[in-house]
Amino acid sequence: MPRRDVTVVAIDGPAGSGKSSVATQVARRLGFGYLDTGAAYRALAWHALDHGIDTSDSTAVLDVSGDFDYTISLDPDDNRVRVGDVDVTAAIREPRVTDAVSGIARVPAVRQTLTALFRSLVSESDRPGVVVEGRDITTVVAPDAPVRILLTADPAVRAARRSSELVDQDASVVAAALHRRDASDSSVVDFLTAAPGVTVVDSTDLDFTQTVDAVLDVVRTALSTQTGAHHGR
């Protein structure tokens, strides 16, 4: 688990909930680091595809993960992702990688390895805290985090937001892909239901700024209950 003096803000949520952009801005406002755990799964998917691996083959995925050399910056203003000497920050967002991610995430041993990596990255951070976002952060990666949030929104709203980001793709295609991704990933981890002690922030009727403020309110309320907590002023 992260060292005691690194404050973890754990944020889970489904695709299109805005958790990446919201978590990034929350990290900036707090002066915290930002860790996109999904980027690691995407990077491993890219790595597997680069090696010609069928990502639906769990054994092959496990084999190729053995030489996975992954680094990511926790700087919310420069969130670069590298696999070996290759900068894959943009490449891991390609549709072929997105389609391959669920196959990677379904392998339990891979999830265990990446969970250990995430905890190590947080522990080694030189910032007072890290906003960690993904699918199983509040329940698996950092279940003891002082702030645990499920960021969600109505499926139609999430699809519309994702469509606005992917202007070169048809809205119905984006919505269908979003649904498939949620269905596939929810078979591995429940990120659609808040675990006990997790605060739900529903952004269906909120714009980006309002959502960031809502999350910051949760963070400040949670941290203010801790002796000597002064973060987010």
DSSP for 54-103 reads -TT-HHHHHHHGGG--EEE---TT---EEETTEE-TTGGGSHHHHHHHHH
Q: Which residues are annotated as a binding site?
A: 13-21
Interatomic CA distance for residues 46 and 157, integer angstroms: 29
Closest by alpha carbon to 133, among 220, 4, 3, 21?
21
Contact 93, 42 (CB under 8 A): yes
Q: Tell me, rounded to whole angstroms, the distance of Cα 133 from its chain centroid.
A: 4
Cα–Cα distance for residue pair 218/221, rounded to 1 Å: 5
Which residue ranges are tagged as binding site for ATP?
13-21
Mutual angle of helices 171-186 and 155-165, in 10-degree steps: 120
Residue 165: phi and psi, rounded to 5, are -80, -30
Q: What count of Cα atoms within 13 Å lies in the side-chain half-sphere of residue 84?
A: 9
Q: Residue 85 burial (CB < 10 Å; 0-12/13-18/19+)?
A: exposed
Phi, psi for residue 60 in degrees, rounded to 5: -65, -40
71's CB contacts (< 8 A; 6+ apart) are 81, 82
